[in-house]
Amino acid sequence: MTGLFKASMPRRTRTVALAAGCILAATMAYAQDDSGPIYFAVASPLTGGSAAYGINAQRGGDLAVEAINAAGGIGGREVVLEYFDDMGTPRESAAVANRIVRDDKFCAVIGHVNSSSTLAAMPIYNEAGISVLNGSSSNPSITEQGWNNIIRMTIRGDRGAQQYSAFAINNLGHDELAIFYVNSDFGRALRDDMVKAVDALGAKVVAEETFTPNVDRDFSAQISSLRRGNPDVIMLNTDYNEGGLFLGQAQDRDFAGIDVVGPDSNLYDQFIELSQGAAEGAYLLAAFDPFADRDAVKTFMSDFEAAYDSLPSQVAIFTHDLLWLAKRAMEDEGATCDTLIDTAKSMNFSGAGGDYAWDEKGDVSGRTFAVIQVVDGQFVSTGKGVDETGLEALR
Amino acid sequence: MAYVIEQLINGLAVGSVYALIAVGYSMVYSILYLINFAHGDVITFGAFTALTMLVIGVPIPVALFLACVLGAALGMTVERIAYRPVRYANRIVPMISALGAGLVIASTAQAIWGPEVHAFPQVIPRWSFELFGQLIPFQPLIIIAIAVVLVTIATILLDYTRLGRATKCVCQDIHAAQLMGIPINTIVPLVYAIGGFLGVAGAVLYVTYFNAVYIQMGLLATFKAWSAAMLGGVGNFHGAFVGGLLLGIAEAFSVVVVGSAFKDGVSLVFIVLILLLKPDGLFGERTTARS
């Protein structure tokens, strides 16, 4: 039993453990043993309506762990992931968080995916003091609660909305925007933040229309109304089905010459297919650039394709990058599980999804969306970023 | 003004599509006083079949005609399997059997074509032309024209042929018609066939105009077309057609007047208001006290 103890273990811990008895000692040794495997809890929706995200988290995580362990793990220790299904619901996420916290063995949590899940679970992680490495939760309030044990990879929602507007106004030089948005929490929040940013940048919204997701497929009335505003650019705050259908239906409505800018929820081949050619030239702003001319992303994309025969979403690449971040922080910067977040905030990390740095709150800083364009019926990287001039006032 | 005309065209085009689908519901209802719950799935199947034929290179008119014929055949099959054996049972029974038939058709379609939204080839080109300085889209006008032609043909068939008169007799009183020697087991399937044919025609226009074929469209079309049939006066052939057009126009103008967030809500409020004033629909006859 004592063989499990290592010389580096603090004397006080050892004394307490021995006093508490063999069983307890064994558990504690398990938790704090620094030669055995190092455990991460990956919390994501593996079932339910957003299960596709969870599957991407799992795939990105598995790929990263395979490569990390092949490269000697973290500081010579094997990395083991345990997956927890939060079902994409706040209630289940809180339950999962309690299970993770109660099981003493985890070095850090990677998750959750849905913002509502992260918001529900964070108070529990914060109280337990466990480090949370978040990939894709974009709700602005997550980093506004004073929690100092979280960083996230994705660009938060309000800053995302600012960047879409800044791209249309600063990069493309337009000043009359039309907004077509999905009538959901996500779509309305995006629309509200976009309107504020457009205002701050001195441009104006000349028309806006919405639609009910998964019900409306006929956008002709909205198209006529948007066209009437005579915009320079359409902000397509939709997913790929509706975005593609909208452009397809608009092609006989005098939309030639109007630019299209959309979020990466449109970054699926079906977007191009459903638009029947009308997506040509559209700009999509993505949280990472899957088509970038960089070795790290090319390797990731080809490994992912080889392993799963599908394209990774941002959830996959962020989960992957978070594990590599943990390895770099602990091996190169001397972080422990407890200081992971503070160390990360002081780092500049380069992963498959690009370069990351974090501010005091745990938001990525100095990182903009990657600009992807549809050219000859294919998504291609433009290699450009977003010109953020004028957004300082909003931050 | 030009904007109002454009929205009117939008409304009439989508309304024509609802109307063609609604006619199928209304005709079946006029005979059996039952909603044909399988209708939406029949037309979805027809639209997918048209897609497959177009993709493998069948000429457009042939493909569309064959798809409509398939719709007619499927309609008759549903009648034979799900309705006729239970025609005189409690009304709940054929309703459930039709729901079952619809599920079988929808699941088969999903097994063949998958759950994704598919793009539909543009069988009517998306051209536009200029009129009084306003760009008028060409496709919705053709859709309206096709709908009017199809309904006119169906009207002639029902009003001026022996077959049509026999159908009307069955609609008025199925038992008396049978006693008068009208072969109801020919006429009733025929009504399903006409409904299926027009329904698939409507569905093909729907998927051309919206540029999308998908499994759930049957449910959506059912909802819209049934509302249209109610509005026009359920059981009334022309009422269903006019109801469809009105529903389409109501949707387009709710975007103009109230905003797109309330598109479906406003058009349904409009229907409820009309039904409050005319409970049997715009062209409905009082259908109480008939069995």
Nearest-by-Cβ selection for A254 from B122, B128, B252: B128
Domain membership flag for residue A5: no
CA distance B16 to B248: 8
For chain A, say whether B259 makes contact (Cβ under 8 Å). Answer: yes
The share of chain A scoring above pLDDT 70, in percent, equals 91
Per-residue pLDDT at A41 exceeds 70? yes
* Closest listed residue to residue A96, CA positions, set A86, A104, A105: A86
Better pLDDT: A112 or A27: A112
Q: Which amino acid would we find at residue B255?
A: V
**A278 and A374, same structural domain?**
yes
**A258 and A162, same structural domain?**
yes
* Closest listed residue to residue A312, CA positions, set A55, A111, A118, A45: A55
CB–CB contact A252 B264 (8 Å): no
CB A389 within 8 A of CB A294: no
Kindly report the three-state secondary structure assignment for every residue of B78-111: HHHHHHHHHCCCCCHHHHHHHHHHHHHHHHHHHH
Contact pairs from chain A to chain B, CB under 8 Å: 85
CA distance A137 to A141: 10
Domain B2-121+136-277 has what CATH class?
A: mainly alpha
Name chain A contacts of B212, Cβ cutoff 8 Å: 217, 241, 245, 274
CB A218 within 8 A of CB B260: no
Neighbours of A272 (CB within 10 A): 23
| pLDDT, tens digit (0-9, with 9 covering 90-100), for A301-317 | 999 999 998 888 889 99
Q: Residue B59 is encoded by which pair of tokens?
A: 């000429």
pLDDT of residue B204: 95
pLDDT tens, per residue, chain B with 291 residues: 788 988 999 999 999 999 999 988 888 888 878 888 899 999 999 999 999 999 999 999 999 999 999 999 999 999 999 999 998 888 889 889 999 999 999 999 999 998 888 999 988 988 888 877 778 889 999 999 999 999 999 889 888 999 889 988 888 888 899 999 999 999 999 999 999 999 999 999 999 998 889 998 888 888 888 888 888 887 788 889 999 999 999 999 999 988 888 888 887 888 888 889 888 888 876 655 444
Name chain B contacts of A252, Cβ cutoff 8 Å: 126-128, 137-139
Q: How far is CA A63 from CA A71, A81, A147, A295, B84, in A?
A: 13, 11, 30, 16, 58
Domain membership flag for residue A13: no
CB–CB contact A249 B138 (8 Å): no
* Closest listed residue to residue B205, CA positions, set B37, B58, B43: B43
**A252 and A374, same structural domain?**
yes
Per-residue pLDDT at A9 exceeds 90? no
pLDDT of residue B284: 76
CA distance A50 to A54: 7
Per-residue pLDDT at A19 exceeds 60? no
Domain membership flag for residue A20: no
* Closest listed residue to residue A112, CA positions, set A57, A51, A62, A44: A44
CA distance B215 to B233: 28
Q: Which CATH number characterizes residue A121's domain? A: 3.40.50.2300
| pLDDT, tens digit (0-9, with 9 covering 90-100), for B77-113 | 999 999 999 988 888 898 899 999 999 999 999 999 9
Q: Which domain holds residue A128?
A: 36-155+294-357
Cα A135 vs. chain centroid, distance in angstroms? Answer: 4
Name chain A contacts of B119, Cβ cutoff 8 Å: 244, 248, 273-274, 276
**A302 and A255, same structural domain?**
no
CA distance B72 to B85: 19
Nearest-by-Cβ selection for A245 from B6, B140, B212: B212
Contacts by A66-72, CB closer than 8 A, 24 or more apart: A67/A303, A68/A323, A68/A324, A68/A327
If you average pLDDT over residues A19-47, what whole number do you get?
A: 67
**A351 and A234, same structural domain?**
no
Give the confidence band of A33 by pLDDT, cuts at 50, 70, 90. low
CA distance A131 to A129: 7
* Closest listed residue to residue A287, CA positions, set A264, A321, A262: A264
| pLDDT, tens digit (0-9, with 9 covering 90-100), for B154-198 | 889 888 999 889 988 888 888 899 999 999 999 999 999 999 999
Name chain A contacts of B54, Cβ cutoff 8 Å: none
| pLDDT, tens digit (0-9, with 9 covering 90-100), for A252-289 | 888 888 999 999 889 888 899 999 999 999 999 998 89
Comparing alpha-carbon positions, the chain A residue that sits nearest to B15 is A218
Nearest-by-Cβ selection for A274 from B135, B212, B260: B212
| pLDDT, tens digit (0-9, with 9 covering 90-100), for A113-153 | 999 999 999 999 999 999 999 999 999 999 999 999 999 99
**A249 and A172, same structural domain?**
yes
Our count of domains for chain A comes to 2
Kindly report the three-state secondary structure assignment for every residue of chain A: CHHHCCCCCCHHHHHHHHHHCHHHHHHHHHHHCCCCCEEEEEEECCCCCCHHHHHHHHHHHHHHHHHHHHCCCECCECEEEEEEECCCCHHHHHHHHHHHHHCCCEEEEEECCCHHHHHHHHHHHHHHCCEEEECCCCCHHHHHCCCCCEEECCCCHHHHHHHHHHHHHHHCCCCEEEEEEECCHHHHHHHHHHHHHHHHCCCEEEEEEEECCCCCCCCHHHHHHHHHCCCCEEEEECCHHHHHHHHHHHCCCCCCCCEEEEEHHHCCHHHHHHHCCCCCCCEEEECCCCCCCCHHHHHHHHHHHHHHCCCCCHHHHHHHHHHHHHHHHHHHCCCCCCCHHHHHHCCEEEECCEEEEECCCCCECCCCCEEEEEECCEEEECCCCCCCCCCHHHC
Domain membership flag for residue A303: yes
**A346 and A229, same structural domain?**
no
CA distance A45 to A54: 5
